[in-house]
Structure 1
Amino acid sequence: MPENLVRPRRVRLISLAAAAALLLSGCVNSGGDEASGTEATPGTQGAKAEPVTATSVPAEELPGAAEDYTEYYEQDLEWSSCAETMLCADVTVPMDWAEPGAQEDLEIQIISSETGGDDAEYLLTNPGGPGSSGYDAVADTLSIAFSEELAEGYNIIGFDPRGVHRSAPVTCLDDAEMDEYREQVSEEQLDSDAAYTEARESAAELTAKCESESGALLGHVDTLSAVRDMDVIRAALDQDELNYLGFSYGTKLGMTYAQHYGPRVGRFVLDGMLDVSLDAHELNKGQAVGFEEALANYAQWCVEQETCPAGDSEDEVLERVQDLFAGVAETPTQGADGRTINVSTVVSGFITPMYSRASWPLLSEALTMALVQQDFTAFQYFADLQAGRSPDGSYEWINSFAFNAVMCLDYPMPQDQEQIDAEFDEVSEEAPTFGPYLGHRAVVCGEWPAENVSEPWYPDLGEVDELLMIGTTGDPATPVEWAENMHEQVPQSSLIIREGEGHLAYRTGNSCVDEAVDGYLLDGELSEGRADC
């Protein structure tokens, strides 16, 4: 193992990898340690972060109005062909919005579907994460992620936010190091001063690696900086208002844009709402409970199939899954390619197909292989998909490090050992299947080379006329309660609730949702209040 690579020992509480949350295409990127699904950052000494009341920004004081930003706002885009039928361009933004020019500028890559034609407006979109590629979402899944009518009505723009993939990516490990990192076997949870000391030393080794590879960028990939980039994209596209379709973490980007650039908000749709008023612990707990409920729903479905590999009752299925996780935690196994399959890999591989009810049969097949044949290859395959690993061992894009970089800037995180233990125990008690493996990000963010710059907040979108929020009753990653809470806090919002399982609502087979989203984005049709689909 390289000298400067973290050795994730006793790491249930210090996970570095993104887990169980906020990723549109999956849920867990485990790094040998127990997967962590919380948003966390350094900065507080044990006190829970209380949301602040945000206030709208007058138009004349909008970020970007000052002369310091003129060159960014007046840039001309140079489009070039890409992805066979699409166009791509780089948008130049300052690394440090507080001091433009003090650091090297960043290039944010955008892609346009060009399906709407020369006279069509642009629709900016983000698939979630943080860490997911908006470029890939448009280039690879245009006909799946967006309706034909929407694609004909707009030129759809995808972008990789700062720190992501093609836009000054956060980099920590190479392919071989990432494999080794993901294969590490964790031991017991942190339960002593010595264990915490060792964990912090181990986390410091990895963060030093990140700083060596990514430098000053690590302090400038927060959500607000990405949102300021979005407004430069709007200006570069020569649009007075921004039309936007955001999913999962992309809804936080949307809410933050609406908070700071209210007069420039066009038609906004936010699907899979993230509650911006919740702190890191409440987010982690909500997602853990969400996946627990999704597992119960899967278990009920499984036993109704009469071929359920995990038992004949819901309780039996839950018990078998818990035993499966515990068994691999105690005795990791080996995949066909020789890589170690630890409990992080199995939890990651298990949660990934839970993001869509259509994938439940695949989850049953993976369970059959594991329970009957002691073959965990399918779970390893799903975990690799989530981690961005190709069969040849290369990683197209390691999004977990961008995830951590954003979260360590966006959320204060307690450094008090007693509080960390208490929060971990609470999540494990409320979500006994997944809670013990979702970890706590406090230690690693405590060692992050950049300080936390943001905190939870209550929105005040006084300059915004309207926007559309969407939640799904069985969404494990962004629980429906988050959408309901945001709708209550934003009086000018409309809310659609999809009845069903899985993450997100648009383009999941619910015509009621699809028609409402297309009707609003294309024709401005928006019903007030709440509607159920």
Structure 2
Amino acid sequence: MPERLTLSRRIRLVSLTAVSALLLSSCVSSGGEPGAEEAEAEQPITPTSVPAEALPGEPAGYTEYYEQELDWSACEATMRCAEVTVPMDWAEPGSGEDLQIQIISSDSGGEDAEYLLTNPGGPGSSGYDTVAETASAAFSQELLEGFNVIGFDPRGVHRSAPVTCLDDAEMDEYREQVTDEQLDTEAAYAEARESASELAEACESESGGLLGHVDTLSAVRDMDVIRAALGQDELNYLGFSYGTKLGMTYAEHYGPRVGRFVLDGMLDVSIDAHELNLGQARGFEEALENYAQWCTEQETCPAGDTVEEVTASVQDLFAGVQESPAKGADGRTINVSTLVSGFITPMYSREAWPVLSEALSMALQQQDLSAFQYFADLQAGRTPDGSYEWINNFAFTAVMCLDYPMPEDPEQIEAEFEEVSEEAPTFGPYLGHRAVVCEEWPAENVSEPWEPDLAEVEKLLMIGTTGDPATPVEWAENMHQEVPQSSLIIREGEGHLAYRSGNSCVDEAVDGYLLDGELTEGRTDC
């Protein structure tokens, strides 16, 4: 059996993809009610209800943000960094608190190269880290030589006014809580709400009014200020997973400023939170079946000899830890949330399936869940010394609660939860329901799904992958139908995201469009 160091090295690159995805997190997030003045001032904004003239650009009050000059400084050995100032509340620019958005430039294209903005997903993932730590893996050499690639941490994320709730020790304690994820009784529902309420108080205490202003539309307004500060008339953009929603929202409101846009791992912006959760749960269920088929074709498979046996072994493992949580080598409790999170992480890439088999072998044959705990720690941002580099789950929750209206009726919540559990019997019962989280959130929902109308956008490139568990291929196909002028590439394969996954057809198409403007119309299968 490989040593932990070997597992660590092999899973590190995989985790970079996993944390970029829409996180299937059932952890409970913050709550409380806004004060009377705050509630009165907070006006719901939906992507389809804000006229273009109400967005930043020419109107008075936005000038100081759009005309700012960047103060670049050397960082990360060969790169440059700067901060972009934006208003915390875009409805009241200049009258309240400002935020500093951290950006980083690869500086790989040279002084005269155009900029390419990128976002790795989440919501909650760091675009700064993507460029600083994995530029050579995330982008082709041709793209790095053709552009200065810009990574940014959106508002509420890591270096840009991060959503903060708990310190390191409190986060460990929170993750170790043993709660009933399945919401199948009144007591379980009450317990989940109590946990949500307790965390809500901590988030409101640490993050205050920021919690009401980390929605996607506000982040997109920041993106347009970044464009202006970089001196670009149009924005070139490469977005992954949730980053595709940022791209679609930008295109909705700033159509004339859209340059070359590539959206990989499409999120369907027209579906509600339940449909999103259901689609992802089905996606991971299918990914498990595909892994199981692969596993049974290997010389040995630790979980069984047939797809059915492998699936049953995983379901039994989850149920057993749900009933009797385990203890890790460091004394921390490994509950079913930790196990499921750790199991999902290596499912994002087919290349990680051998690692998943090793972890399963340890769990089933040695009753050792330490590998899954390790993967879950990577997902949560926990380092080996017990500190957290960045807790993206809180930013994820903040964005989701603002972006998606949630049901308030317990019967509807239970019905939706039961549907997910039936459609995805392995993962569904452990995903919880975001409404339990969001009904305790301190800030009110401000946005909702919408049908895209990108009439002012000439063209853009969408990408989906047939075996993508986090952003099912149907979402890319749906968005392509909604935006007739878009081009669509479908990668045949497993895993989340298509660009730089080893498919030269995809890589050449993306690079060709971004660098030379070459774009095949309609659909292309790779």
Q: TM-score, normalised by structure 1?
A: 0.90
**How far off is 1:206 after superposition?**
1.1
**Deviations 1:312-342 (CA, angstroms, capped at 9, x unpaired):** 1111000010001001111111111111111
**Deviations 1:294-324 (CA, angstroms, capped at 9, x unpaired):** 0000000000002100011111000010001
* CA distance in 2: counterparts of 1:500 and 1:199, whole angstroms: 37
Which has the bigger relative contact order, CA under 8 A and spacing at least 6? 1
Pairs within 5 Å for 1:154-169: 154-169=147-162
Aligned partner (choices 375, 379, 387) of residue 386 of structure 1: 379
Contact 1:23 1:130 in 2 (8 A): no
CA gap 1:284/1:25 in 2 versus in 1, 3 angstroms = closer
* CA distance in 2: counterparts of 1:26 and 1:307, whole angstroms: 32
SS of the aligned residue for 1:90 comes to strand
* CA distance in 1: counterparts of 2:214 and 2:48, whole angstroms: 21
**How far off is 1:102 after superposition?**
3.1
* CA distance in 2: counterparts of 1:126 and 1:155, whole angstroms: 14
* CA distance in 1: counterparts of 2:415 and 2:25, whole angstroms: 24
* CA distance in 2: counterparts of 1:527 and 1:192, whole angstroms: 53
Residue 503 (str. 1) matches residue 496 (str. 2): yes
Residue 24 (str. 1) matches residue 17 (str. 2): no
Aligned partner (choices 202, 213, 227) of residue 220 of structure 1: 213
Pairs within 5 Å for 1:423-462: 423-462=416-455
Q: 1:343 matched to which residue of 2?
A: 336
Residue 200 (str. 1) matches residue 196 (str. 2): no
Q: 1:145 matched to which residue of 2?
A: 138
CA gap 1:41/1:265 in 2 versus in 1, 3 angstroms = farther
* CA distance in 2: counterparts of 1:321 and 1:368, whole angstroms: 11
**How far off is 1:56 after superposition?**
9.3
Q: 2:294 matched to which residue of 1?
A: 301
Amino acid at match of 1:333: A
**How far off is 1:396 after superposition?**
0.3
**How far off is 1:101 after superposition?**
2.6
Contact 1:29 1:383 in 2 (8 A): no
CA gap 1:451/1:27 in 2 versus in 1, 3 angstroms = closer
Q: 1:269 matched to which residue of 2?
A: 262
* CA distance in 2: counterparts of 1:188 and 1:400, whole angstroms: 17
Q: 1:182 matched to which residue of 2?
A: 175
CA gap 1:57/1:493 in 2 versus in 1, 3 angstroms = farther
CA gap 1:289/1:25 in 2 versus in 1, 3 angstroms = closer
Amino acid at match of 1:464: V
Amino acid at match of 2:462: M
* CA distance in 1: counterparts of 2:402 and 2:357, whole angstroms: 38
**How far off is 1:57 after superposition?**
5.3
CA gap 1:300/1:495 in 2 versus in 1, 3 angstroms = same
Q: 2:358 matched to which residue of 1?
A: 365
* CA distance in 2: counterparts of 1:483 and 1:74, whole angstroms: 36
* CA distance in 1: counterparts of 2:161 and 2:55, whole angstroms: 25
**Deviations 1:144-168 (CA, angstroms, capped at 9, x unpaired):** 0000000000000000000000000
**How far off is 1:55 after superposition?**
7.8
Q: 1:94 matched to which residue of 2?
A: 87
**Deviations 1:206-252 (CA, angstroms, capped at 9, x unpaired):** 11110100010000000000000000000000000000000000000
CA gap 1:178/1:380 in 2 versus in 1, 3 angstroms = same
* CA distance in 2: counterparts of 1:22 and 1:359, whole angstroms: 11
CA gap 1:55/1:99 in 2 versus in 1, 3 angstroms = closer
- Percent identity, please: 80
SS of the aligned residue for 1:514 comes to helix
Pairs within 5 Å for 1:311-350: 311-350=304-343
What 5-or-longer segments of structure 1 have no aligned partner?
1-20, 44-51
Amino acid at match of 1:318: T
**Deviations 1:182-201 (CA, angstroms, capped at 9, x unpaired):** 01111374455565445434
Q: 1:119 matched to which residue of 2?
A: 112
Contact 1:56 1:462 in 2 (8 A): no
RMSD: 2.1
SS of the aligned residue for 1:497 comes to strand
Stretch of structure 1 that moved more, 439-448 or 252-261: 439-448
Amino acid at match of 1:476: P
Residue 482 (str. 1) matches residue 475 (str. 2): yes
**Deviations 1:432-475 (CA, angstroms, capped at 9, x unpaired):** 00000111011221111110000010000011000000000000
Pairs within 5 Å for 1:64-79: 64-79=57-72
**How far off is 1:24 after superposition?**
1.9
SS of the aligned residue for 2:313 comes to helix
Q: TM-score, normalised by structure 2?
A: 0.92
SS of the aligned residue for 1:457 comes to coil
Pairs within 5 Å for 1:27-66: 27-28=23-24, 31=27, 54=48, 62-66=55-59
Contact 2:237 2:247 in 1 (8 A): yes
Amino acid at match of 1:425: E
What 5-or-longer segments of structure 2 have no aligned partner?
1-16, 35-45
SS of the aligned residue for 2:88 comes to coil
SS of the aligned residue for 1:81 comes to strand
**Deviations 1:397-426 (CA, angstroms, capped at 9, x unpaired):** 000000000001000000100000000000
Q: 1:241 matched to which residue of 2?
A: 234
Contact 2:183 2:432 in 1 (8 A): no
Residue 399 (str. 1) matches residue 395 (str. 2): no
* CA distance in 1: counterparts of 2:149 and 2:204, whole angstroms: 34
**Deviations 1:277-303 (CA, angstroms, capped at 9, x unpaired):** 000000000000000000000000000
* CA distance in 1: counterparts of 2:348 and 2:324, whole angstroms: 27
* CA distance in 2: counterparts of 1:476 and 1:372, whole angstroms: 27
CA gap 1:343/1:220 in 2 versus in 1, 3 angstroms = same
Q: 2:506 matched to which residue of 1?
A: 513
Q: 1:421 matched to which residue of 2?
A: 414
